[in-house]
Amino acid sequence: MIFRSRIIPFLFVIFLTGLNYYLLGFYIKGDQTYYRLLYSTFSETNYRDIFFVAIPIIGSSEPFTLTILWLGTQLGIEKDLYISLYNFLLLIGLWLFCRQNKSGVLILFLIFTNYYIVVLMTSAERLKFAFILITYAFVFFDKKWIRSIFLISSILAHFQSALFLLGLGAYRALANKVIISSRISISGLFIKLISILFVCIISYYFYDNISHKLIVYLGNGDIYSLLKPLILFIVSLLSLKSYWSSIKIFIVMSPLFYIFGDNRMTMVYFLVLFYFLGIEGRLKRPAFLVLMAYFSVKSIGYVTNIFSFGTGFV
């Protein structure tokens, strides 16, 4: 039983990591054109200059991601191998999350072959680091300190993770049962104060970068961008325990589709539902299973594009 529940999935993770390493060798265009250039440039860059070097190449300067990439170059590790190590961490985190919530083999297979997970492992390099942190935040969801540190730190890996945190806030702060207490937890208050301070520091030092990103993203969506969040909303209504939570998440997330476009936000909305349904033990709900199966099938075309065109997006 232990062999089946732990060893086999672990070996499958190793197999997928090796397969992904092979796949990365073909991904030489698209986003990877710039990430490969950044990685090679970092090998001759002093740490204090990495932010100035990164902005012209990838148009971003998230400190956690840049530090991780810079360390890889200083250790002399070949880029695809180095990134594969973090892909391994992502897959292990997803496995731990699914095992912890008793999701079953089918869910594990569907999330490992999911289109957005494959995108995170190949193209969306900065966002990958953010979702590694987010994944382990949900693995340790009951441990408030660890969860808070991972979630807040994810913003330093990719500012887009703040969009995910908005969905998290809608789910937790606006739950059906609101418990009002006259007592304030000192640890909880301290975490909130540290979080506010942390966000202020990020806003102060990276204001120009964040403003530039917002200007670039604004207007990416149109009225048709609301179709996908509507589909995800229907899936959440049929899957989450609380209809009210589904409505509130939709209210928070749907305007972001118009601002940032549906491609980016569909990934965020889907992963919001994945982690929440995992916590609720409802990943096997029929509507969500159908959605998972669709995204697993969609990953086939993406992988085929990498072999044919050197990028997943054509």
Question: Where are the chain's structural domains?
Answer: 2-309
Give the pLDDT confidence of 120-150 residue by residue, as tens digits.
999 999 999 999 999 999 999 888 889 989 9
**Rounded distance between C-alpha atoms, residue 133 and residue 136, angstroms:** 5
Give the pLDDT confidence of 182-203 residue by residue, as tens digits.
344 444 444 444 444 444 554 4
% residues pLDDT > 70 (the chain): 81
Quote the pTM value: 0.85
∠ CA 193-196-197, nearest 5°, is 85
**Rounded distance between C-alpha atoms, residue 314 and residue 29, angstroms:** 10
66 closest CA partner among 155, 153, 148, 126: 126
